[in-house]
Structure 1
């Protein structure tokens, strides 16, 4: 006779299982509070959100610049037809940070099932509350955090595949597709996935599961791979970028110590205030102390494939960028930039520290049990102590990294300009020269020019970056020529011959304007206010790239991979178990 399960015995299970997700959501709100409580748009260094984006050739990666924002820009172009762009970016960023914490907790539940909920909360805190997240937020790499968030989930999916459990392959498809919002993201997720799947053992063939994961990685990478193959963008890279984007030493830590503390981003301005003082050493010691507490416990579980993969990845993720910042490492990087096509994708070496996060989270979670065994006392108390230490290590991550990650509002002129610019009447050249702007409405920080994501036509950008000690040349050779023509006062016929149909002048920002006033005096003014002026170059029409259909098809494959993965996960999750005879 079967005894029905009482609601009293089931009820407590659901709240307990949901605690890590709720805790991660709370941390996410504490980190992103200003962005979530005020209307507006994220405009901070490399992060640009606009009310509406458009499916230009550039958004598909079909330009001479590297396809670094593919398929991110195309996705926003589609999504913003129905949702405001500020809401879309804030939602994706929120989901990414939340998923990072929840995923780390889930990884602990899979790998260390006896660790308990308290240990899962510590792992979630490690994944969210660390310098890597803070620095990438300040640098504006919101979409890279989607790839970061996918890492623990991809490891969980890989474990399911090794055990031949239902839903493993669909879950991996979702992880890789989500990480594939940027090229770097999908490579990070593929790295941790293959590391777990390649460890000998488990059910089924190692070769088959590695090949399957590689095939899914190609599908998730199809948008940027297709754009690169068809348009050739990003095959060249300036060797100067190796030194400019090398990992940076923080106070009293050195480069290796900074990377071990999950910090060390190349841009010293995109760093929380506490990491610019001797507190960086204290915070790093607190984080590493938490991680070190659990290392012996993980060592005793070294036969577990995820423990092996996470440990190796953490070591390589810290040591690799540190070696790349040494003299021989810089020399090797400069050689590869000059001789190996596509290596420019790797130039920001500190972002490759991300694969250390799952290992750190597992070790910190194991450390809770180690502290409990060593000093006695309930696990929740020790978890609370560890969480307090992690927060104390980086106190200014709270509330938008001390209010720096916040929304802005565009002046009305930006929306009016978008109503004039058409897609088929030539590309847009922008003044002043350069890609970065300092706007009063965005604060004192230099931000990427929002024009390319604001108007219907392709906006020509050189890709040249101003960094400490000089410049790093971009790949936009046509844009460089057009910028030179404007700054030397070329006539409208010359601009028209280059396919330029519009010139947008952004007034309230410093920058080189050269002799451009001579050019502007010969053009037809279309719109002008205190912030912007738009000029028309007559007689220019442009055709869409002949590769546009292929690029869109690659994006559709990426979307279908996401959709099929989600459907597969839901089907496996809610499918009825087979009846046993």
Structure 2
């Protein structure tokens, strides 16, 4: 199953040793080599990809990041399926039911949509949630505590994953003394992104418009509740698999709820299953309510006033909390027709699960590794050399054209240079969703606007009394990707090309230019 569904990551393990290959799709920007720069550690700006980028950067000299991610995805796919089968067996599922539970871990719209959005680390955590739930339910032995600690550590590659795993563990355990472990470990594992955020709490505030732009999306025929009940409904319509049948997901959810009712009437809906089912219901209902008019208004106020609330604005990503309950309830679908041989209803339900995304492996083709243009590596070498010649130990490099997304091999992707450059690459931090600019560092956005309009340097404009905006902003180097600027219809900043400019061209090669700020 792992090889069939996650085949792009199997390919990444095999081909990733050639460091020209990269995993590039939207938020998944993983070049063959990464730098432990200030963005990776959270030392500069909002800690957006902490600690996952730091881990990849530390391992990068030994193992290419693409290989690390490929091994992680495949390993967690197998482990998550194994955990789902154990969880299903814990609550009385037979062999066929256990197989169906394992199947659902990888074959669902959530995995497809999140991978197409590039959220590989969130998918890692999602696949491990059934295992986390089983370890928490089984938590009477020392080995289960050790296993749970390890699973939480892997999920903690991303803040969202840590929240998902800790919530699942606390809800599933039901024993007060055992909930201390995930809470304490969660607090410790959150320090890499909490501490940087505390230095600039105001910087973690976000635009109220994010509440509506990132709200769960309605699917045809089933609306927002149906989309979420089927573990779909991501906000980005471009990240939807080409072959998606939302009604199949709704029918699967109806089957799960019906099983819960039957088990409740027979006295089998107790303990951990009851708690996990309640968590699953909340995971569907709350994002649905947050997508309504009042929910958007309320949440918008929260985003603008509560530091760190932006971590929660993509509400659909939390619907995966329903996965542990889903795999258990669906694995027990045989209780609905007790007079029929158990494999029959389970296999029919498995067919329904399959129909949610019937061509899932084909839908994930965009995830295959691609060869990154050699100009990126040359640009990194040029920045390192320029920084060394100028005596800069922590160079601040501004990227041009504006924005942190590029179109590479026909795919929109976060600029790989933000992961590859040393020092402190300047990330403007803003997003453009449906033509609207969301978030962004005000100082950097203002500087980019001035550069685009021909300003930002008094000397270049013949006004010696006017301060240099680049120098004032602490920029040491400006790296221009000429082809990307041309494709975006953006001219080179006049402050760089004007003969009177104090900024020096220190390197140019095959569509790239590097300027040192004078």
TM over 0.5: yes
Aligned counterpart in structure 2 of residue 511 of structure 1, from 488, 494, 514: 488
CA distance in 2 between partners of 1:27 and 1:375 (Å): 31
Which residue is 1:396 aligned to? 359
Cα deviation digits, residues 329-368 of structure 1 (max 9, x gap): 001101111221111110001001010000110011111x
Give yes or no for the alignment of 1:327 onto 2:308: no
Aligned counterpart in structure 2 of residue 494 of structure 1, from 458, 469, 475: 469
CA distance in 2 between partners of 1:30 and 1:437 (Å): 25
Cα deviation digits, residues 267-290 of structure 1 (max 9, x gap): 011001123xxx432x32453355
Question: What's the CA shift for 1:416?
Answer: 1.1
Which residue is 1:249 aligned to? 218
Q: How does 1:214-225 map to 2 (within 5 A)?
A: 214-225=183-194
Q: Which moved more, 1:77-86 or 1:24-33?
A: 24-33
Aligned counterpart in structure 1 of residue 130 of structure 2, from 142, 145, 152: 152
Which residue is 2:2 aligned to? 25
Aligned counterpart in structure 2 of residue 455 of structure 1, from 413, 421, 442: 421
Cα deviation digits, residues 233-265 of structure 1 (max 9, x gap): 743111110010000001111111111111100
Which residue is 1:354 aligned to? 320
Q: Closer, same or farther in 2 for the Cα pair 1:37/1:133, shift >3 Å?
A: same
Which residue is 2:83 aligned to? 103
Question: What's the CA shift for 1:41?
Answer: 1.3
Q: Closer, same or farther in 2 for the Cα pair 1:533/1:97, shift >3 Å?
A: farther
Aligned counterpart in structure 2 of residue 528 of structure 1, from 503, 508, 511: 508
Instruction: Answer whether contact 1:179 1:185 (CA < 8 A) is retained.
Output: yes
CA distance in 2 between partners of 1:98 and 1:354 (Å): 18
Q: Closer, same or farther in 2 for the Cα pair 1:245/1:108, shift >3 Å?
A: same
Q: Secondary structure in 2 aligned to 1:453?
A: helix
Q: How does 1:283-322 map to 2 (within 5 A)?
A: 283-288=248-253, 290-292=255-257, 294-296=259-261, 298-299=263-264, 300=266, 302=268, 304-322=270-288
Instruction: Answer whether contact 2:27 2:117 (CA < 8 A) is retained.
Output: yes
Which residue is 2:68 aligned to? 88
Question: What's the CA shift for 1:457?
Answer: 2.3
Aligned counterpart in structure 1 of residue 37 of structure 2, from 48, 56, 65: 56
Which residue is 2:390 aligned to? none
Give yes or no for the alignment of 1:238 onto 2:219: no
Q: Closer, same or farther in 2 for the Cα pair 1:298/1:506, shift >3 Å?
A: farther
Q: Closer, same or farther in 2 for the Cα pair 1:31/1:126, shift >3 Å?
A: farther
Which residue is 1:142 aligned to? 120
Q: Which moved more, 1:336-345 or 1:114-123?
A: 114-123
Which residue is 2:465 aligned to? none
Which residue is 2:58 aligned to? 78
Aligned counterpart in structure 2 of residue 271 of structure 1, from 227, 240, 248: 240
Q: Closer, same or farther in 2 for the Cα pair 1:261/1:446, shift >3 Å?
A: same
Q: Closer, same or farther in 2 for the Cα pair 1:437/1:404, shift >3 Å?
A: same
CA distance in 2 between partners of 1:520 and 1:512 (Å): 17
Question: What's the CA shift for 1:26?
Answer: 4.2
CA distance in 1 between partners of 2:133 and 2:34 (Å): 34
Give yes or no for the alignment of 1:46 onto 2:27: yes
Give yes or no for the alignment of 1:417 onto 2:395: no
Question: What's the CA shift for 1:514?
Answer: 5.1
Instruction: Answer whether contact 1:147 1:189 (CA < 8 A) is retained.
Output: yes
Q: Closer, same or farther in 2 for the Cα pair 1:143/1:512, shift >3 Å?
A: farther
Which residue is 2:310 aligned to? 344
Q: Secondary structure in 2 aligned to 1:375?
A: coil
Q: Secondary structure in 1 aligned to 2:367?
A: coil
Instruction: Answer whether contact 1:434 1:511 (CA < 8 A) is retained.
Output: no
Post-superposition, which runs of at least 4 consecutive aligned residues in structure 1 deviate over 6 A? Answer: none
Which residue is 1:387 aligned to? 350
**Bigger relative contact order (CA 8 A; separation at least 6):** 1
CA distance in 2 between partners of 1:472 and 1:287 (Å): 36
Q: Secondary structure in 2 aligned to 1:87?
A: helix
Q: Closer, same or farther in 2 for the Cα pair 1:529/1:62, shift >3 Å?
A: same
CA distance in 2 between partners of 1:434 and 1:70 (Å): 20
Instruction: Answer whether contact 2:260 2:269 (CA < 8 A) is retained.
Output: no
Give yes or no for the alignment of 1:132 onto 2:132: no
The count of residues paired between Structure 1 and Structure 2 equals 491
* TM-score normalised per structure 2: 0.88
Cα deviation digits, residues 356-394 of structure 1 (max 9, x gap): 000110011111x33673422x62x55444333322221
Instruction: Answer whether contact 1:520 1:535 (CA < 8 A) is retained.
Output: no
Aligned counterpart in structure 2 of residue 483 of structure 1, from 448, 457, 462: 448
Q: Secondary structure in 1 aligned to 2:166?
A: helix
CA distance in 1 between partners of 2:375 and 2:109 (Å): 37
Cα deviation digits, residues 139-198 of structure 1 (max 9, x gap): 00001112212312221221233xx2222322221122111111111011111111123x
CA distance in 2 between partners of 1:135 and 1:38 (Å): 24
Give yes or no for the alignment of 1:435 onto 2:404: yes
Question: What's the CA shift for 1:80?
Answer: 0.5
Q: Closer, same or farther in 2 for the Cα pair 1:165/1:425, shift >3 Å?
A: closer
Q: Secondary structure in 2 aligned to 1:341?
A: coil
Q: Secondary structure in 1 aligned to 2:216?
A: coil
